[in-house]
Each structure stands twice: as structure tokens, then as C-alpha cells.
């Protein structure tokens, strides 16, 4: 008889290996870019920072790039990648559907419209854009949930349909804005936003983002087993002592919050929420208590890598959303072929 | 033979249509109670009311003399388990992972099952002679095997009352008997109250101790099989004249009158079928 502990040595090994990989990608990423920082210099910079010594003059520009541009950007990539991926996994469990991604209830569409409205408004300010984006994102989800409640029957199915209604509505509003915006100034910035980019990330953003994302990640890892129960459907969940309606609402609010805050900071970064959970399942199996931590790590590695490519591939920066979509689509196709016959795809 | 589950004057309406009306039943420990009724008579609704998946509009339900409305969902799940009818595909979980979910009502919100929970799950599968299913993908096993897996989950749940919604649906001839035998032995050896909706009155005649006949949302008759399983009552239940065949002297099986006469007169449909 094969005995397998709930958290086997193999699972721990996978976690450790992915954490190491993330560390390596992080180190590679902070040293690469227009200003290349060698390993030795990197070491000096970190040691000087810790010991509080001044930086040698010849490293001054590297220091600025390192501490004020690269590190916050890479940390942000990790937070956003992990956050989007984990929200995707949670949404797929909630809706029992492998094709669901966190934007299904209109979060991203709402956020993008909010940001675009902020960009074309006469009081264009960086913070206004973020606040508007975040507010409209949550408003969109609330609309989907409210609409679904008004209809009432077949909770999950109707929620998805209500989400599509809201999503299309905000996309239409976005088109209106694009049509009427100034094609030389405003339109490009809207389009840049839609494609998603980490290029303007500052420490301030990271400090706002980090607590929410970390709390979300810890929460979802802790609730992993409950997600398994919920993914059986409402009747079975209830017969196992879990109130599906209450729990679903909690999870929708928490994960929408995570998505809204990352779209409000970095724009729409496609595909992560959809494919990373599938990759994690291929590695760790479908049990959420095992796959959620893997999802977070894979999401972080994926976005960090994609962002590094986005800013090093050419002299002009490519929006990272393009990289994630270009790699995400074929990877998803491959995963579908690989998982055929599991009875789920 | 204590009363484990009781409901009095239960009524349930769905979109202004009465589905259940004036249902009062008592369920006893260590007894297998079958609910019979035609399609749409309200059998499933009754089961779902009994463990508060649905909230009835009128009437009260007691679980071990405790009002179910005042109970915490986890407490209800510790007392009542459900083997559902629907078999939605879910994530490709291993059977063992599905079975261990029966431990959910005993775990805290953020807890995950540990080794002892997995041992209980394995024990439940062994009890049903289904240990070989443990490592298989739930989505890739047969209907009968899934039913066994869900029954094992209910066993793992350790509740004294087990509700089953048409457990023999989609099962082949052999598996139906296999499953019902397993249920019956569960009922006897663990002193569990089993309440199952069944389609086939003959299965109920063979396996059940008590019967509840439901017609158009109300109770037509209830009581021990020997008293309720009569030609008149069962004919009235299915709105078809039935004939009875005795086996072993005391058990009676029922078949539509037309079929029974057809058997004796030789079936004269040969020409008409063409």
C-alpha cells in the first residue's frame, strides 16, 4: 500500500526548488538591463547598504539604478505575478471552470476604464489614475455580483454571465473614451495602460501593494483545503458543513481586491491568471492545499522573467503584457493537450 | 431504536409552486428507510430540507432533539452526511482526496487533513472493499465506482444519519445490488440511519426496513416495509395498476399489471412492432 502524506517530501522539494529558482531569476533580473550590474558590484551594493557605508563613486549610478529602479520593479513583478496567478487559481475553483481567469467578473475591464478616465480627465495626476482604476474595478465586480443576485437562480452560472455583461459594458465605455480622446497625447497612454507595464513602478507602489498581496497569498494558502470543498459545487459543499454563498463572497471580494490593486498599478497583464494555475496543477496535482503555494511561486517567476525580457530585449521597452500573452497562449494550448483525458478539460 | 431525525409539518414552495406540504416523518437509528415516489414528487427536495441545504417554509426539523435551524452548518454536517445525485466533474482529484473531504466538518477553517484523516478515509474505502480506487482519478472511474467513492466519503464523515439521493441511478444491474448491500451492512454494523430515495420499489422491498411513499409533495403512506408495501398503496403511488409476485413467502415484488399479463398470454406484439 502506498502511503502518501498530505504534504510529502516531494511536495516540499518542489516548493524549495521553485523558491531557489525565483531567487536566481531575481538576481539575474536586477543585474540585467541597460546598465549592467556585475555580480561583484551587486554584492558590494548590498553589503554597503546593510553596513551603512557610503557607496564608492564609480558605483553611484549603479546604486541609483539598483535601489530605486530595479529592486522595486522586480519586487513588484513578484507581487503582481503571484497575486494574479493565485487569484486565477481561486477563481477557477470558485467557478469550477478551467477557462476562468480573474477578469471574468469584470475587474480588469473596470480598472482599465477607470484608469483611462483618469488619464483623459483634465486633472491628470498619477494618484487620480490609480484611485479611479481601483474604484472602477471594484465597482465592476460589485455590479456583476449585484446583477447575479437580482437574477437569483443557478448561482455560479449566472455569476459568470453577469460578469460578461458588466465586462462588455466597461469595454464599450473604454471604446467610447478611446474614440473621443486626443490621438497624440491621451490615446497612446491608454493603449500602453491596456497592455500593461511595470516601467513606472516606485517604492511607494510597492509599499501600497505588498501588504494586500501578502495578506491575500497567506489567506488563500490557509484556505486551500476549503477551496477543494467549494470546488465540488454548492450542494456537496453545504453537506460538508461549508456555507458556499458566504465563502464565495469572501473569496470574490479578496481576490478581486488583489487583482484591482495590481491592475491599478501596472495595467492589464494578460494570461497569468489563466495559465499559471494550470501549470501548478500539472506539477502539484489539483488539490488546492498543495497547488496554491506552487501557483504563487510560478506566477512570480513567470512575470519576473517576462518583465526582464520586456526591458532587455530591445532598447525601447516592450509592454510586458505583450510578452505574457505571446508566451501564455501557446503554453496554454500545450497544457490543454497534455491534460486531455483527465476528465476536466 | 432511537429517533435520530424528525420533521413535523414540513412545507416547501418553489416559485409559488408547492413542492412539499405537511410532511412529518421520523427516522430511526440502525434502520434503512427508503423514500419512493414518481419523478418530480419532491423526494430530492425533502432530502435537501432534511440537512438544511434548503430551508423549508413551514415546519420544523430536529436532529437528535436539536432544532436544525439553531445548528451551526459544521454541526449539521457532523450529524448528517449526504451522497448527492449529481455527478458534476470537478478537478481531477484522486479518489482518496475526495474521500478525505468527509473530514471537513471536523477541521478548522484553515486546517488541512492530516495523516489520521487520511487513515480514516482509507479505512472507509477498505470497509466498502473499494481500497483499490484510492489512487485513481475521480473523473475517470465508472459511475458505480464514483458512487462507492462518495459513499466512502459519507462514511468518513462519521455522521449517524446518511442521506442518499437516488444512489442506484446510472448503476448497472450488478452494481445496484452491490451498493445497496454495502449500504445495508453499513446501516446495521455502524447503527446508522440511512435515508435513500429510490426509483425501483422492488429494490426498496428487498433492502429497506421502512418506507415513505411520497405523492405530489405529500405523504401517501409510511411505516415498516411489511405494512406499506401493498398492492393498493404502491399502485396508487405510481398511478398504474400493479400485480405482485411473492418471493421467499414474505417478500413481495411489484410489476405493472400489463407486463405480468403479457408474460402469461405470450407477448402478442410480434406483428405490431414492424
Buried b or exposed e, range B111-132, using 16+ CB within 10 angstroms: ebbeeebbebbbebbebbebbe
CB atoms within 10 A of CB B22: 14
Q: What would the mean pLDDT of A47-68 be, rounded to a whole number?
A: 80
Chain A CB contacts of B90 below 8 Å: 96, 231-233, 344
Q: What would the mean pLDDT of A111-124 be, rounded to a whole number?
A: 84
**pLDDT > 50? residue A51:** yes
**pLDDT > 60? residue A71:** yes
Residue A1: predicted pLDDT? 39
**pLDDT > 60? residue B271:** no
The kind and range of the H/E element at B62 are strand B58-63
Residue A119: predicted pLDDT? 84
Q: What is the mean pLDDT of chain A?
A: 86
Residue A40: predicted pLDDT? 81
Residue A48: predicted pLDDT? 82
Chain B CB contacts of A342 below 8 Å: 92, 137, 139-140
Q: How far does A55 lie from chain B, in Å, by closest CA?
A: 46
pLDDT band at A2 (very low <50, low <70, confident <90, very high): very low
CA distance A157 to B17: 23
Residue A7: predicted pLDDT? 52
**pLDDT > 70? residue B267:** no
Calculate the CA dihedral of residues B234, B236, B238, B244 and round it to 10 degrees.
Answer: 40
Residue B272: predicted pLDDT? 47
B200 touching A (Cβ < 8 Å):
no
| Relative orientation angle of helices A244-266 and A107-120, to the nearest 10 degrees | 30
Residue A169, C-beta contacts closer than 8 angstroms, at least 6 positions apart: A106
Q: What would the mean pLDDT of A31-55 be, rounded to a whole number?
A: 80
Residue B261: predicted pLDDT? 80
Q: What would the mean pLDDT of A105-130 be, rounded to a whole number?
A: 84
**Residue A195 or B202, more confident:** B202
Chain B CB contacts of A4 below 8 Å: 118
Calculate the CA dihedral of residues A278, A284, A290, A294 and round it to 10 degrees.
Answer: -60
**Residue A260 or A124, more confident:** A260
Residue A26: predicted pLDDT? 94
Q: CA–CA distance from A314 to each of A311, A319, B121, B163, B208 (Å)?
A: 7, 11, 56, 64, 76
Chain B CB contacts of A241 below 8 Å: 73-78, 104-105
Find the CB nearest A239 among B75, B81, B107.
B81
**Residue A122 or A269, more confident:** A269
CA distance A1 to B134: 10
**pLDDT > 80? residue A4:** no
Domains of chain B: 3-228 (3.40.50.300), 240-274 (no CATH)
Residue B17, C-beta contacts closer than 8 angstroms, at least 6 positions apart: none
Residue A57, C-beta contacts closer than 8 angstroms, at least 6 positions apart: none
Residue A155: predicted pLDDT? 66
Which residues on adjacent β-strands are paired with residue B63?
Answer: B5, B66
User: Nearest residue on chain B to A232, judged by CA atoms?
Assistant: B90
Residue A343: predicted pLDDT? 61
CA dihedral for A300, A303, A307, A308, sign (positive or negative): positive
Query: What ipTM, to 2 d.p.?
Result: 0.87
**Residue B262 or B224, more confident:** B224
Residue B265: predicted pLDDT? 60
CB atoms within 10 A of CB B8: 14
CA distance A130 to A128: 5
CA distance A105 to A90: 13
Closest CA to A324 of A281, A262, A282: A262
User: Nearest residue on chain A to B53, judged by CA atoms?
Assistant: A238
Residue B273: predicted pLDDT? 45
Closest CA to A299 of A11, A18, A16, A9: A18
Distance of CA B31 to the CA centre of its chain: 12
**Cβ pair A242:B91 closer than 8 A:** no
Residue A344: predicted pLDDT? 58
Residue B150: predicted pLDDT? 93
User: Nearest residue on chain B to A7, judged by CA atoms?
Assistant: B114
Cα B235-B202-B266 angle, rounded to 5 deg: 75
Give tens-digit pLDDT for A198-244. 888 889 889 988 998 999 999 999 999 999 999 988 889 999 999 98
Q: What would the mean pLDDT of A54-68 be, rounded to a whole number?
A: 80
**pLDDT > 70? residue A8:** no
**Residue A28 or B269, more confident:** A28
Residue B263: predicted pLDDT? 67
Give tens-digit pLDDT for B195-244. 999 989 999 999 999 999 999 989 999 999 989 988 899 999 998 888 88
pLDDT band at B86 (very low <50, low <70, confident <90, very high): low
Closest CA to A286 of B139, B187, B80: B139
CA distance B229 to B218: 17
Give tens-digit pLDDT for B104-120. 999 998 889 999 999 99
Percent of chain B with pLDDT over 70: 94
Residue ranges per domain, chain A?
Answer: 72-338
Residue B274: predicted pLDDT? 44
Residue A265: predicted pLDDT? 86
CA distance A116 to B98: 46
**What is chain A's percent helix, strand, coil content, to nearest 5?**
80, 0, 20
**Cβ pair A93:B91 closer than 8 A:** yes
Question: What's the pTM?
Answer: 0.86
**pLDDT > 70? residue B270:** no
CA distance A332 to A276: 9
Please provide the CATH number assigned to the domain covering A72-338.
Answer: 1.10.3470.10
φ and ψ of A242, to 5 deg? -110, 130
Chain A CB contacts of B97 below 8 Å: 228, 286-287
pLDDT band at A154 (very low <50, low <70, confident <90, very high): low
**pLDDT > 80? residue B249:** no
Whether the Cβ atoms of residue B73 and residue A238 lie closer than 8 Å to each other: yes
Whether the Cβ atoms of residue B15 and residue B41 lie closer than 8 Å to each other: no
Which residues on adjacent β-strands are paired with residue B163?
Answer: B82, B195
CA distance A303 to A267: 13
Amino acid at each position: 500500500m502506498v502511503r502518501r502524506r498530505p504534504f510529502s517530501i516531494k511536495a516540499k522539494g518542489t516548493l524549495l526548488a521553485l523558491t531557489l529558482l525565483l531567487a536566481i531569476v531575481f538576481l539575474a533580473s536586477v543585474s540585467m538591463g541597460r546598465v549592467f550590474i556585475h555580480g561583484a558590484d551587486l554584492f558590494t551594493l548590498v553589503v554597503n547598504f546593510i553596513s551603512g557605508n557610503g557607496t564608492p563613486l564609480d558605483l553611484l549610478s549603479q546604486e541609483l539604478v539598483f535601489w530605486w529602479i530595479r529592486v522595486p520593479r522586480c519586487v513588484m513583478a513578484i507581487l503582481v505575478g503571484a497575486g494574479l496567478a493565485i487569484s486565477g487559481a481561486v477563481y477557477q475553483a470558485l467557478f469550477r471552470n478551467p477557462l476562468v481567469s480573474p477578469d471574468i467578473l469584470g475587474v480588469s475591464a473596470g480598472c482599465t476604464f477607470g484608469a483611462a478616465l483618469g488619464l483623459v480627465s483634465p486633472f491628470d495626476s498619477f494618484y487620480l489614475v490609480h484611485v479611479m482604476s481601483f474604484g472602477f474595478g471594484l465597482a465592476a465586480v460589485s455590479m456583476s455580483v449585484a446583477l447575479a443576485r437580482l437574477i437569483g437562480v443557478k448561482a455560479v452560472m449566472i455569476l459568470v454571465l453577469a460578469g460578461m455583461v458588466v465586462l462588455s459594458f466597461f469595454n464599450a465605455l473604454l471604446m467610447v473614451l478611446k474614440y473621443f480622446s486626443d490621438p497624440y497625447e491621451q490615446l497612446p497612454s491608454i493603449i500602453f495602460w491596456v497592455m500593461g507595464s511595470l516601467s513606472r513602478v516606485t517604492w511607494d507602489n510597492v509599499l501600497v501593494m505588498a501588504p494586500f498581496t501578502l495578506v491575500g497569498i497567506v489567506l488563500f494558502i490557509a484556505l486551500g483545503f476549503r477551496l477543494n470543498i467549494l470546488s465540488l459545487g454548492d450542494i456537496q459543499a453545504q453537506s460538508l458543513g461549508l456555507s458556499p454563498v458566504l465563502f464565495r463572497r469572501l473569496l470574490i471580494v479578496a481576490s478581486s481586491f488583489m487583482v484591482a490593486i495590481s491592475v491599478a498599478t501596472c495595467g492589464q497583464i494578460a494570461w497569468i491568471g489563466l495559465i499559471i494555475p494550470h501549470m501548478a496543477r500539472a506539477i502539484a496535482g489539483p488539490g488546492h492545499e498543495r497547488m496554491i503555494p506552487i501557483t504563487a511561486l510560478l506566477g512570480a517567476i513567470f512575470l519576473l522573467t517576462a518583465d526582464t525580457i520586456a526591458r532587455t530585449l530591445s532598447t525601447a521597452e516592450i509592454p510586458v503584457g505583450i510578452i505574457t500573452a505571446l508566451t501564455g497562449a501557446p503554453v496554454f494550448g500545450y497544457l490543454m493537450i497534455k491534460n486531455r483525458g483527465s476528465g476536466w478539460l | 431504536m432511537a429517533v435520530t431525525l424528525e420533521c413535523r409539518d414540513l412545507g416547501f414552495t418553489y416559485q409559488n409552486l408547492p413542492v412539499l406540504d405537511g410532511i412529518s416523518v421520523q427516522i430511526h437509528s440502525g434502520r434503512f428507510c427508503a423514500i419512493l415516489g414518481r419523478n418530480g414528487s419532491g423526494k430530492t427536495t425533502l432530502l435537501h430540507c432534511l440537512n438544511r441545504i434548503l430551508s423549508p417554509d413551514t415546519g420544523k426539523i430536529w436532529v437528535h432533539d436539536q432544532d436544525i435551524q439553531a445548528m451551526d452548518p459544521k454541526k449539521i454536517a457532523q450529524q448528517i452526511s449526504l451522497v448527492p445525485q449529481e455527478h458534476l466533474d470537478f478537478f481531477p482529484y484522486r479518489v482518496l482526496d475526495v474521500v478525505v473531504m468527509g473530514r471537513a466538518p471536523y477541521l478548522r477553517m484553515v486546517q488541512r487533513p492530516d495523516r489520521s484523516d487520511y487513515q480514516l478515509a482509507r479505512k472507509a474505502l477498505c470497509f466498502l472493499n473499494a481500497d483499490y480506487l484510492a489512487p485513481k482519478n475521480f473523473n475517470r472511474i465508472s459511475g458505480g465506482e464514483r458512487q462507492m467513492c462518495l459513499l466512502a466519503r459519507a462514511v468518513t464523515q462519521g455522521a449517524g444519519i446518511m442521506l442518499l439521493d437516488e444512489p442506484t441511478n446510472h448503476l448497472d444491474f450488478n452494481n445496484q445490488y452491490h451498493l445497496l448491500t454495502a449500504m445495508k451492512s453499513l446501516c446495521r454494523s455502524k447503527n446508522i440511519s440511512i435515508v435513500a430515495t429510490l426509483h425501483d420499489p422492488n429494490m426498496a422491498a428487498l433492502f429497506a426496513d421502512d418506507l415513505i411513499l411520497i405523492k405530489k409533495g405529500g405523504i401517501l403512506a409510511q411505516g415498516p416495509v411489511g405494512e406499506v408495501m401493498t398492492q393498493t398503496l404502491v399502485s396508487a403511488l405510481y398511478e398504474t395498476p400493479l400485480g405482485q409476485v411473492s418471493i421467499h413467502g414474505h417478500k413481495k415484488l411489484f410489476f405493472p399489471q400489463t407486463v405480468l399479463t403479457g408474460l402469461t398470454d405470450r407477448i402478442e406484439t410480434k406483428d405490431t412492432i414492424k
